Amino acid sequence: MHMIRRRAWEIPERLVTPEHLVVKRRSLLAGAAAMTILPSLLPGGAARADVPVNQAFQPGRPLTEEKYATTYNNYYEFNDSKSVWQEAQALKQRPWSIKLDGMMAKPRTIDIDDLLKQVSLEERIYRHRCVEAWAMTVPWTGFPLSRLLKIAEPLGSAKYIVFQTAQDKVMSGLSAPFYPFPYIEGVTIDEAANDLAFISTGLYGKPMPPQNGGPIRLTLPWKYGFKSAKAIVKISFTDKQPDTFWEAIAPSEYGFWANVNPAVSHPRWSQATERLLGSDERVPTQLFNGYAPQVAGLYSDRKNEKLFM
Ligand SMILES: Nc1nc2c(c(=O)[nH]1)N[C@H]1C(S)=C(S)[C@@H](COP(=O)(O)O)O[C@H]1N2
Ligand SMILES: [Mo]
């Protein structure tokens, strides 16, 4: 049978698989090959609208229910209340372009859909750990940040990649005093090249909801959540460590590295445990959010830096 594979964001909402089928399909595939192309499960034999699930990333925890992950959000451009999802619907997701600049041979602006034509999407289930000690486990659709590095072609002398979030008139929090918008985040080129570093354009098999950072955001699961900038409009390459949003606000509380570590307390609270969204269960926090085997090597030469705050 000829099967048409559509990309997640091209799917009309009515064709998206209901959540209970997605979960069932995942457990069916649990023992299958590392990357699996999914068969049709839609009624009427319609082509499945999905991307391959990368089975290399097993979260070891139940998925957070979608309704919690999409209604409890940090997005200070809107407000600081966690209840931004309704207001965020006003952020237009298309047209959307991303400016690439700084230390690169060909600075340019790319349309998001032109970028997405150059990548293969996959789904990965990652744990997410906010510095405030809540956590979730969700399926992201996207592509490795290393792929974006290849497309952008920074100069060999660039040491950092910097992400900047949109500033749109529908974001009512932008006028709040005190916060140094735009939201800027960055990592080293070595961190960006690590296979865990991900650019996400979807969540739960659907286009990324605006409140979760649609249409395109960063996903760095071994770092506290604030490193994962939402609604990216600019990506720059530089040889200087960038002044990041939260570090500028409170350097002793939210450092540049911000790697998860249960043994290093935030100045105002312990990081030893985390609260799972939905169940409110408290579970132990893990070093690098449980991703130490993949990322600890990135830091072997940086023992004297404040890697964990
Ligand atoms: N632009 C922008 N990106 C952001 C934030 C923000 O306020 N603005 N909050 C960060 C924080 S603190 C966390 S925990 C995650 C939350 O992502 P989620 O709402 O998808 O759970 O987004 C991060 N990215
Ligand atoms: Mo966070």
Helix H, strand E, coil C: the string for 23-62 is HHHHHHCCCCCCEECCCCCCHHHCCCCCCCEECCCCCCCC
Query: Sorting pLDDT into bands at 50, 70 and 90, what band is 36?
Result: low
Q: Which atom of ligand 1 is nearest to the CA of 231?
A: 1
The answer as to whether 48 is a domain residue is yes
- What per-residue confidence (pLDDT) applies to 59? 96
For ligand 1, the distance from its centroid to the CA atom of residue 231, given in whole angstroms, is 10
- What per-residue confidence (pLDDT) applies to 29? 41
pLDDT, tens digit, for every residue of 256-291?
A: 999 999 999 999 999 999 999 999 999 999 999 999
Ligand nearest to the CA of 227: 1
| Mean pLDDT, residues 232-237 | 99
Residue 112's domain is classified under what CATH number? Answer: 3.90.420.10
User: What distances in angstroms separate CA 278 from CA 63, 74, 92, one per listed residue?
Assistant: 10, 16, 28
| Residue 284 burial (CB count, 10 A) | 9
- What per-residue confidence (pLDDT) applies to 38? 46
Q: Which atom of ligand 1 is nearest to the CA of 136?
A: 21
Q: Whose CA is nearest to atom 10 of ligand 1?
A: 226
Residue 19 in this model has a pLDDT that exceeds 80: no
Residue 227 in this model has a pLDDT that exceeds 70: yes
The answer as to whether 8 is a domain residue is no
- What per-residue confidence (pLDDT) applies to 164? 99
- What per-residue confidence (pLDDT) applies to 35? 59
**Ligand 1 pocket: which of 75, 138, 203, 219 to mutate (most atoms <8 Å of CB)?**
75
For ligand 2, the distance from its centroid to the CA atom of residue 151, given in whole angstroms, is 29
The number of angstroms, rounded, from the C-alpha of 125 to the middle of its chain's C-alpha atoms is 11
- What per-residue confidence (pLDDT) applies to 48? 33
**Ligand 1 pocket: which of 82, 226, 234 to mutate (most atoms <8 Å of CB)?**
226
Could you give the dihedral angle defined by the CA atoms of residues 241, 293, 61 and 200, in that order, rounded to the nearest 10 degrees?
A: 40
The answer as to whether 202 is a domain residue is yes
More confident residue, 50 or 154: 154
The answer as to whether 261 is a domain residue is yes
- What per-residue confidence (pLDDT) applies to 309? 86
* Domains in the chain, number: 1
pLDDT, tens digit, for every residue of 98-147?
A: 999 999 999 999 999 999 999 999 999 999 999 999 999 999 999 999 99
Q: Is the CB of residue 228 below 6 angstroms from any atom belonging to ligand 1?
A: yes
pLDDT, tens digit, for every residue of 241-253?
A: 999 999 999 999 9
Closest Cα to residue 221, out of 153, 285, 303? 285
The answer as to whether 7 is a domain residue is no
For ligand 1, the distance from its centroid to the CA atom of residue 29, given in whole angstroms, is 31
The answer as to whether 305 is a domain residue is no
Q: Whose CA is nearest to atom 12 of ligand 1?
A: 226
DSSP E strand boundaries for the chain? 35-36, 53-54, 97-102, 108-111, 122-129, 134-144, 160-165, 184-188, 198-203, 206-207, 217-219, 232-238, 273-276, 282-284
The answer as to whether 6 is a domain residue is no
Query: Sorting pLDDT into bands at 50, 70 and 90, what band is 49?
Result: low
Structural contact between residues 121 and 142, judged by C-beta atoms closer than 8 angstroms: yes
pLDDT, tens digit, for every residue of 1-14?
A: 333 344 444 433 33
Q: Is the CB of residue 200 below 6 angstroms from any atom belonging to ligand 1?
A: no
For ligand 1, the distance from its centroid to the CA atom of residue 293, given in whole angstroms, is 25
The answer as to whether 75 is a domain residue is yes
Task: Write the CB contacts of 225 (distance below 8 Å, at least 6 apart in sequence).
Answer: 74, 128, 129, 130, 131
pLDDT, tens digit, for every residue of 170-220?
A: 999 999 989 999 999 999 999 999 999 999 999 999 999 999 999 999 999
pLDDT, tens digit, for every residue of 67-109?
A: 999 999 999 999 999 999 999 999 999 999 999 999 999 999 9
Measured between alpha carbons, how far is 178 from 120 in angstroms, rounded to an integer? 40
Ligand nearest to the CA of 166: 1
Longest dimension (CA), the chain: 60
Residue 40 in this model has a pLDDT that exceeds 60: no
- 220: domain range? 13-299
Q: Is the CB of residue 134 below 6 angstroms from any atom belonging to ligand 1?
A: no
